[in-house]
Structure 1
Amino acid sequence: MKALVKYAKGNGNMEIRDVPEPKPGPGQVKIEVKAAGICGSDLHIYHDDIAIPLNPPVVTGHEFCGVVVEVGKGVTAWKSGDRVTSETAFSFCGKCHYCITGYYNLCNERRTLGYWYNGAFAKYTVVPQERVHVLSDSIDFISGALLEPLACVTHAVLELTTITVGDVVLVVGPGAIGLATLQVAKAQGATVVVSGTSIDKERLEMAKKLDADYTINVQEEDLQKFIWELTKGKGVDVVLECSGVARAADDALKVIKKQGQFTQIGLFGKPITIDFERICFKELKVTGSLGSRWTSWEKAIQLVEQGKVRTKPLVSHEMPITEWEKAFRMFENKEGLKLVLIPVEN
């Protein structure tokens, strides 16, 4: 089968290759991939500047959904024909403090689908049965391919951040993650401001369509002045930083209130410089967010089923996997919004 393979470490070193069709081992489920989204971390894999362990040669891709076509020995919870999606945490130790308490996303031994184990930029992939979730008939395959990034968002916004009705929340960066974050924050009853730059014009328009209360182009308007007027000089209650841009994160620290919450969701891909003393002077509660866990997946699926989060409007392009180079270039150039790759027949 044709698959997008990171065949060696280093910048680039990725191509479509013919690889053997996988077989499920004991306790594993084989899934026919119907759609797979391109994540920002896939670009980091391409450029080899990501801290998550990578084990080339490996089939890339980890945001996906599909249909079960075969199960391995001992699998009873799943059967051929089931519509499913899957977590990315393929393996972890199961013994450390983080695994025992359900935070296996933080396990030092965690190894990830599409990084260490063959992933979803292919016709078929194999995953452990414990990581599989039901994709209800109400969720189409394109929407379902975005459940993985949404699960990361629900982990950050619902499990690591406290948002209450009436809070003013600044979402920095109107990419697919930012637009999902907007919707989850709105579901909590927040007043949401989404910020971006001139290149984000269409994305900021999409934010309005997804019920953002305010949008701001920080290259055309003064963010600090806007926030001061909106909050009567107090500052925003919560910052959800989704851009992974140092300047944007630093600017967000200027407009957050004292004792506010700052959650970093976007990845910078390199060390950055920010005014860290603002965290002290404002007594900010700051957290990072890494991946997702079982509970965040269940919450993400529930939000989509209830219509509180819409993922399909975030998809601007559906392309065959053979056009991955064009899709990656578009992603890096911020052309379109979310790009989804569709597997091809051999």
Structure 2
Amino acid sequence: MKGLVKYAAEPGNMEVREVAEPVVKPDFVKIEVMSSGICGSDLHILHSDIAIPVRPPVITGHEFSGVVVEVGDGVSNCKVGDRISSETAYGYCGTCENCKNGRYNLCDHRLTLGYWFNGAFAEYTMVPADRIHKLADNVSFKEGALLEPLACVCHATIDLARIKAGDIVLVSGPGAIGLMTLQVAKAHGATVIVSGTDIDVERLGIAQKLGADLVVNVSREKLLDLVGDLTDGRGVDVVFECSGSAPGTRTGLEAVKKYGQFVQIGLAGKPFEVDFPRICYKEIKVTGSLGSIWSSWDSAIRLVSTGKVNLKALATHEFKLEDWEEAFRTFEEKKGLKILIKTH
């Protein structure tokens, strides 16, 4: 079969190669990949500037959906023909404090699909059976390929934050993650502001269509003034920073109210300075967010299957596996939203 392989460390060193099909083993399932999505971390793997352990040569890709084509001995939670998506936590210790408390996304020994073990930019992949999640009948394979990033959003917005009906929420960055965050916040009854820059004009338009109450182009408008007007000077109740940019984080810490919540979802890829005393003076509750856990997958699946989150609107481009370079370039140039890879 063909797979997109990171074949050596250092920037670049990625190409489509002929690779062996996975051979199913006990407690694992073999999956025919029907659709897979490009994540920002896939670009970091390409450029070799990611902190998560990568073990070349490895087939990349971790956001996907597919069909179970073979099950290993001991598998009882699925059968051949089931339509599924999968968590990315291919392996973790199961015995550390975080694992025992259900936070296996934070396990020091966590090893990830598409980083350490062969992933989903291929015709077939194989994952532990207890990592899979079945797709509802009304969820397409393209939507299924976006469940993993939505699960990450649900972890940030539901597991780590508390949104109450009537809250005013700022979502900084209208990429696919930001637009998912917008929809989850709306599903909880929030009034949502989405901010972006000149490069995000089209995405801000999509945010309006998906229910944003206010969109702000910070290249041309003063976000903090608009927030002050909307909140009578108090600031927003919750900020979800999805851009991974230093200005987005700094402005978000200014925009959030005293005793408010700030959640950093976007990854900057490098350190930057923030006004940390502001966190103290305002008693802001600040948290980062990394990956997902079972509960966030359960939330994501329910939100999509019940129509509370629209993933179809976010899948804007699809490329053949052989055209992966154009697909990655489209993603990196911020053209469209979610870029999918089709391996068949």
TM-score bracket, normalised by the shorter chain, equals over 0.9
Q: For residue 153 of structure 1, report the CA deviation from its aligned partner.
A: 0.3
Q: Which residues of 2 match residues 37-186 of structure 1 at below 5 A? A: 37-186=37-186
Residue aligning to 1:263: 263
Say which SS state the counterpart of residue 292 (structure 1) adopts.
coil
1:208: how far off?
0.5
User: What does residue 235 of structure 2 align with?
Assistant: 235
Aligned residue type for 2:172: V
Matched, 1:189 2:161: no
Residue type of the partner of 1:85? Answer: S
Partner residue, 1:318: 318
The equivalent residue for 2:21 is 21
SS of the aligned residue for 2:195 comes to strand
Match in the other structure for 1:6: 6
Aligned length, in residue pairs? 344
Q: Which residue of 2 aligns with 1:33?
A: 33
**3-state SS, counterpart of residue 35 of structure 2:** strand
Q: Which residue identity is paired with 1:304? A: V
Quote the Cα distance in structure 2 between the aligned partners of 1:21 and 1:193.
Answer: 46
Q: 1: CA distance between counterparts of 2:42 and 2:275?
A: 29
Task: Write the distance in 1 (CA, Å) between the matches of 2:265 and 2:198.
Answer: 21
| Greater alpha carbon shift after TM alignment, 69-78 vs 238-247 | 69-78
Task: State yes or no: 1:282 paired with 2:282.
Answer: yes
* Per-residue Cα deviation, 1:62-100 (whole angstroms, up to 9, x for no partner): 000000000111112211101111000000001011111
Task: Give the Å deviation of 1:251.
Answer: 1.1
Counterparts of 1:24 and 1:180, CA distance in 2: 34
* Cα distance between partner residues in 1 of 2:211 and 2:75: 42
Report the TM-score when normalising by structure 2.
Answer: 0.99
Q: Tell me the C-alpha RMSD between the 2 structures.
A: 0.7
Give the match's secondary structure for 2:69: strand
Tell me the amino acid that sits aligned with residue 323 of structure 2.
E
How far apart are the structure 2 equivalents of 1:54 and 1:126?
17
Matched residue of 1:204: which SS? helix
Q: Which runs of 5+ in 2 are unaligned?
A: none
SS where residue 61 of structure 1 aligns?
A: coil
Cα offsets for 1:248-281 (capped at 9, x unmatched): 1111111111111000000111111111121111
- Measure the CA separation in 2 of the matches of 1:252 and 1:82: 42
What is the deviation of 1:11?
Answer: 1.0
2:333 maps to 1:341: no
Report what 1:330 is aligned to: 330
Q: Helix, strand or coil: the match of 1:102?
A: coil
TM-superposition CA deviations, 1:1-45 (whole Å, max 9, x none): 111111111111111111001111110000000000000111111
- Confirm whether residue 211 of structure 1 aligns to residue 211 of structure 2: yes
Post-superposition shift, 1:244? 0.3
Amino acid at match of 1:240: F
Deviation at 1:247, TM superposition (A): 1.1
